[in-house]
Amino acid sequence: MARYEGTCPECKKTLYACTKGAVCVCDCWQHCPVCGAEMTPYTPDLAMNSYGLGECRDLTVLMVCMHHSPIFFSSKRPVEVVCT
Ligand SMILES: [Zn+2]
Ligand SMILES: [Zn+2]
């Protein structure tokens, strides 16, 4: 069976697909770059905690890691890898 692969530019992980040109989404963006734990999707509820940080609040934040104080905000996005 044919197997096509692509490498994630973010984490260098190799992703596999059985169709040439298939697009895989690497899940590394869901993991905290600091501690490696799975992060929590950013919701407006969490914004409560970030009031007071003022300009540090970034609207591009998608995920947060609750293991840090203050909370770690990640602006990582899903990485699409084309398998060839
Ligand atoms: Zn990755
Ligand atoms: Zn973390």
- Number of structural domains in the chain: 1
| Residue-level pLDDT at 42 | 86
Tell me, what's the pLDDT at 46? 60
Per-residue tens of pLDDT for the chain, all 84 residues:
789 999 999 999 999 999 999 999 999 999 999 999 999 998 776 655 555 444 455 567 889 999 999 889 998 889 999 999
**CB within 5 A of ion ligand 1: which residues?**
8, 10-11, 13, 26, 28
Dist. CA 55 → ligand 1 center (Å): 29
To the nearest 10°, report the CA torsion of 4, 14, 41, 55. -120
Q: 67: closest CA among 17, 32, 42, 18?
A: 32
Q: What is the pTM of this model?
A: 0.72
- Residue 72, domain extent: 4-82
The C-alpha atoms of residue 54 and residue 40 are separated, in whole angstroms, by 21
User: What confidence score (pLDDT) does residue 64 get?
Assistant: 92
Residue 2: predicted pLDDT = 83
Cα-to-centroid distance, 82 and ligand 1 (Å): 12
